[in-house]
Amino acid sequence: MFNFRQNIGIDLGTATVIIYVKGQGIVLREPSVAAIDRVSGKVYAVGDEAQKMIGRTPGNIVAIRPLRDGVISDYDTTEKMLKSFLSKVNFSKFFKPNIVICVPSGVTEVEERAVVDVALQAGAKRAYVIEEPIAAAIGAGIDIAEPNGNMIVDIGGGTTDIAVISLGGVVVSNSIKIAGDTFDDAIIKYIKNKYNILIGERTAEEIKKSIGCVFPLEEIKTTSIKGRNLITGLPNTLELRSDEIIDALSEAANSIADAIHDVLERTPPELVGDIATNHIVLTGGGALMQGFDKLIEKRTGIPAKIAEDPTTCVAIGTGVSLESMDIIQAAGNSVAERKNYENMN
């Protein structure tokens, strides 16, 4: 059970919700999916259980993802989903915790306020937001307070956030709505156009995880998938190769590389020198895409490295940020100074 001093960090991602509790580490990691009744609005399931229902629910129940492109698209469902997740980690209504949630660097004030409000409604005593690149850097073990340039590329489900960080603040940044979901859509489109076979989101994600790559592999990988033939309407089995996936994902991957190049062009020369020494750090689930580090190095000339556990960096950083509030405030880029809302009741 939480006590009144408990701090919780939440990576409220488009694809996955990850919760970090001080002293316990990562305590929950589940898909950002909720199954609800269309008529009553009742939530039947969230997370892993709801994920299994996608494409398999009866007419009155729909499995949805209430976050799109890194922001809340369905407030009520997000609130119910978050409450359910907090209850799974023994959240107590009597000892409300401080919660910090990450947001993409390009969100509006209205979108930020929505994130804070949903956390307060879900039971937080105080709610804060922190930009994803800052959280990712902290979670990756980078000392953001140092006068040293570091580039973070956080490739999530809905957005890719790119930022150059120095002295605890974001010097230059860019946030684009091209990330893991875009890769899934690109795979679906590629298979539909080339083979006249329709596959679902879950199958596309499985392809991405098993043979997905954006740079030629030393050894070609293959996988077998099933889908519906658009001509006959019957099930079809298809063998896919990893070099095909490079073609499918090339446009999206190069758009991310272009955005990284743009941020580097706008970065002060001294910091670019630091980045070349420290390397570009990749975080988020998209960082696990095979060959992404090599593609970025080829396009920028700067080596890229994947964080030790890229999928949890943001969640860990959100939790740690509350413990390091004084450091972040001193650097002038504090969660509290820039984006802090408190429940005054």
Provide the whole-model pTM.
0.86
Please tell me whether residue 311 adopts helix, strand or coil conformation: coil
CA–CA distances in Å: residue 207 to residues 168, 170, 202: 38, 35, 9
Per-residue pLDDT of the chain (345 residues; tens, 9 = 90+): 334 457 889 999 999 999 998 888 899 999 999 998 887 878 888 999 888 877 676 767 888 889 988 789 999 999 989 988 988 886 555 678 888 998 888 788 898 999 999 999 988 888 888 999 999 999 999 998 889 999 999 999 999 999 999 988 899 999 999 999 999 999 999 999 999 999 998 899 999 999 999 999 999 999 999 999 999 999 999 999 999 999 999 999 999 999 999 999 999 999 999 999 999 999 999 999 999 999 999 999 999 999 999 999 999 998 888 776 544 443 333 333 334 433 433
Nearest to 153 by CA among 129, 181, 172, 130: 172
How far is it, in rounded angstroms, from Cα 48 to Cα 181? Answer: 18
Contact (Cβ atoms closer than 8 angstroms) between residue 76 and residue 118: no
Amino acid, res. 254:
N
How far is it, in rounded angstroms, from Cα 345 to Cα 341? Answer: 12
Nearest to 253 by CA among 164, 171, 135, 153: 153
pLDDT of 338 reads 34
Rounded (10°) angle between helices 75-88 and 109-121: 40
